[in-house]
């Protein structure tokens, strides 16, 4: 079983991705949260990068998943380059790492299996298309449940990500599909 470090902008994000990946990989991977309690731009500090590397090594992780939100469109190359620069700094110390770059926000992945969300929150979003094209998905999900007794909040993501179907997310989101291919290559590097 591989030990996989998780680094993210928010503890809800790392828990959500852990829950989603555990659906399919629980027998092959043990996820270990690195730099717990970190929020947002704290990830950009030198101190945090050192902490991540130290924890990665002390916990004997095989590789790390770095989860970041772009908070912009893919066409905004300055923002993309900013995130890629951050990731390359991590990669200098942890060469075995993967970037899960969420276009806008992690909540966009919920749209890849919107039926699960609709069932839980009794909404009718009927989304079809590329979930990474949704600007401010978190706010859109909140707006969809604004008049409901069961209002969506980003702190619900870990529980929602236990329920959204990983194979449906892979099928409906090319960015996540590419991430999974990279993840599986790191998980089983000798597999043909």
Domain range summary for the chain, segments of one domain joined by +: 2-105+171-187, 108-159
38, pLDDT greater than 80: no
Of the candidates 140, 133, 139, 8, the one whose C-alpha atom is nearest the C-alpha of residue 74 is: 133
- Between 6 and 45, where is the model more confident? 6
> Quick one: pLDDT at residue 107?
94
Q: Give the CA distances from residue 9 to residues 30, 121, 187, in Å, rounded to whole numbers and listed in that order.
A: 20, 25, 23
pLDDT at 133: 81
Write down the pLDDT at residue 72: 85
Helix (H/G/I), strand (E/B), else coil: 71? coil
Give the chain's mean pLDDT: 91
Report pLDDT for 118. 93
Confidence of residue 190 (pLDDT cuts 50, 70, 90): confident
Question: What pTM does this model have?
Answer: 0.92
Question: Who's near 90: CB < 8 A, 6+ residues apart?
Answer: 7, 49, 52, 53, 64, 66, 97
40, pLDDT greater than 80: no
Assigned CATH for 2-105+171-187 = 3.40.1400
44-82 per-position pLDDT tens digit: 888 888 888 899 999 999 999 999 988 888 888 998 999
pLDDT at 179 exceeding the cut of 80 = yes
Check pLDDT > 70 for residue 39. yes
* Mean pLDDT value across residues 84-92: 88
Three-state DSSP at 141 gives helix
- pLDDT value of residue 192: 64
């Amino acid at each position: 079983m591989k030990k996989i470090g998780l680094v993210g902008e928010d503890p809800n994000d790392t828990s959500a991705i852990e829950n989603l990946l555990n659906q399919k990989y629980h027998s092959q991977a043990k996820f270990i949260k690195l730099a717990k309690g970190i929020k947002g731009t704290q990830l950009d500090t030198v101190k945090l990068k050192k902490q991540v590397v130290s924890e990665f090594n002390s916990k004997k992780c095989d590789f790390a998943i770095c989860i970041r939100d772009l908070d912009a469109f893919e066409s905004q190359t300055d923002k993309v380059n900013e995130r890629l620069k951050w990731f390359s700094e991590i990669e200098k110390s942890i060469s075995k790492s993967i970037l899960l770059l969420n276009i806008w926000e992690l909540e966009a992945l919920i749209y890849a299996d919107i039926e699960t969300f609709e069932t839980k929150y009794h909404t009718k979003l009927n989304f079809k298309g590329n979930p990474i094209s949704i600007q401010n998905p978190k706010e859109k999900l909140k707006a969809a449940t604004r008049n409901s007794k069961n209002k969506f909040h980003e702190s619900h993501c870990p529980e929602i990500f236990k329920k959204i179907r990983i194979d449906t997310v892979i099928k409906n989101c090319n960015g996540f599909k590419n991430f999974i291919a990279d993840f599986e290559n790191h998980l089983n590097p000798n597999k043909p």
